[in-house]
Structure 1
């Protein structure tokens, strides 16, 4: 007969696990036999004691998942609202530009054509733009291109269905100019900077004995007949230089930003050079003065000129003032109606109290 060997650690663990398994089996059988009310009591006790940490952890996981879902939904709504706002802002800006251009075109007495500006986008053509109108539409070479703010450029070449123009940043750009009151005459030319944002206009060849102040407006003079008289160019910033005590030059801030030009009006010639209902000739000679005597100063009244941002700010302030005035009139009308109601109550028939 072999000697007795006491159970080792592994046998003790196996026995303990077996006892635990049998205990849980007995408890499961006992719980199965309990009535529904008893099962509910046991379940509540287990949730409040043993299962409480696990249930709390599960609630945290579910809450985090719900918050993640809410954040994703809010982000989607924000993206959608941002996209709608961007589209609305673009449409509002386009509508403002078109309304301003229509207002300008309605007052232009010289023949004109509306056109859309396209930029080539190639290196070296930053100062060049394309117009979707050409000689078939009556566009002549050297036709002025204007916007609601003022002079944007000039047509250089004309094709059958499109034209090529240059804005004021082109090195060949030059225009005979004067102060708005006609006291000072000169030529406006471009001075290129190290970067395109640094390009500036310079009013040159002005008489030494006459002075311009900062803020004085510069418009086309009409000399030479290429540009009509009175188209805004910009405003004087400061004195640039004095040459030998004879002439002076001034830096000029342009009203038209080339990058913002999308819709324009192309002038075809003076009213005297184009018969009523007739299409102007596709070209004219270099020395022809088709705009001689034409004056467009009335299109840009004093105090209504400036950059696009300045013009929009004035329109916004005007709209706010009108809205405030309407609200004030409505309040006054409401007060008058209330006073009339009080008078009607305080007086009897026939106006007797």
Structure 2
């Protein structure tokens, strides 16, 4: 078996492969929709071979669906050269590793139980990712500033053809994804009406991931992109309505502000942001948002009047409370 240790070059430039443990059978065919399950370890090419990420430490293997625009498409190339049960080390040059920090960030957030959707909701495609100053992890920020060649040690566990597994929404192609959106949207609305806000947010988020995945392939601000953006904004605002009921006011302010910065004419965004400001006693901001709602849509007069009356009452109560609090102090 010693010849297995020899380094081979894969068809792509800037990759070399060393088999550490031979696999069995033929090399599986990876077609669009094939689900591949594998463990991975990512290491720097320094003397210590510093480990950046290791799925075994997290305890769950990685799953990707071929042809599904997984952000690190080089992994598809590497996996396509492997047999089941094979463990191989790949050296990949910088041209293949530039986006790794972004992928790593989302994988880490999943592992930490945080929602990877967050950066998909907040950013328009990859372009904005590069504008952000920090990914929230020092080692990834380093790599982002100065991309380096990396070692990927992959251990291929399982390959399932499209007919052999239940395809979840992230495993759909674009056309299927967009068909799923109104279904998820409807389910979310139904759950919202039943007062099951937490479950409704999951449906809205799933629909948002579908839209954002398709949207990253469109040219920003072109007609198809804008259509998707409109759908995404509607879902985000429904999501914010759930958050209001769940008393997550600061998150509502954050999401609605994102929408307003990009699209200053969305009435509902100002209305929901005004409501959130009202709940956290930001009087001036709330009044400003409600005034903007009236500017954009005078037919909202009745609703806004009601909100402003509640705001005045709120502020009155708070002032009274503060007075009582301080009265006892002097």
Q: Shorter-chain TM-score: what band?
A: under 0.3
* Structure with the greater alpha carbon radius of gyration: 1
TM-score for the superposition, normalised by structure 2:
0.20
> Quick check: which one's helix share is greater?
2
Please identify which structure carries the higher strand content: 1
